[in-house]
Amino acid sequence: MELINDFQVSVRKAFDEIDSNWESYKGLVVCGTHSPKNVEGIIEKIREARETGKPFLGICSGMQIAIVEYARNVLNLNGANTQEIEQNPLYPVVVKMPLLRIGMKEVEYEKGVYRFESHWHNYCFNPMYEKAFRNTPEEHFGGFDIIFTKDIINIAEIMKIREGNSFFTLVQFHPEYQSSKEKPHPILVEFITKCKKYGR
């Protein structure tokens, strides 16, 4: 298992509480960070995971970097970037919000099913590109299912590539903060389960 970016401590703790052998499984997690580094290298690792079907989880800024990867390599939006890295990219698929978004926010996982999740972010998926991400050609598994929360603006909380990949999920919140040994977070449990099946 490979974990990238700064905010790993809580992710590792949550994984330990789910499966003590998790480090031996194959998967990629891009965690949150306030100081993105080596973004182009991370984009390449995400591309490889997506194309090979290796389980991938993008958390907070990890989600945003994965959005840039998909925009460039699947949607052919050359010049796509996040405004955290480039102030005026040709295709601003991740944009700065009017306000820093902090605290527990309600996320609707499916109709009528909600969880409160922990947030700390100043950037988000640009909803102007929703149609493009949802309607990707079938050779790329038909694009993303996207769950939005209406807040400062429409915030994409969860983005999942549809059938075809073993696991490729992006979350704007921090599921690791809401996970415990007694109540492990379902997204983390699903990810570890897929990694275990994918192999060591």
* Closest alpha carbon to 58 in 108, 125, 151: 125
| Cβ(188)–Cβ(176) below 8 Å | yes
Of 119, 121, 174, 185, which is the active-site residue?
174
Tell me the two tokens of residue 125. Answer: 């998926």
Distance CA 5, CA 191 (A): 18
Nearest to 64 by CA among 42, 48, 90, 79: 42
* Residue among 84, 119, 176, 185 flagged as catalytic: 176
C-alpha 135/C-alpha 138 separation (Å) is 9
Is 174 among the catalytic positions?
Answer: yes
Distance in angstroms (rounded) separating the CA atoms of residues 99 and 24:
40
CA nearest to 82, candidates 94, 65, 74: 94
Query: Catalytic one among 31, 60, 124, 195?
Result: 60
What residues act catalytically? Answer: 60, 174, 176
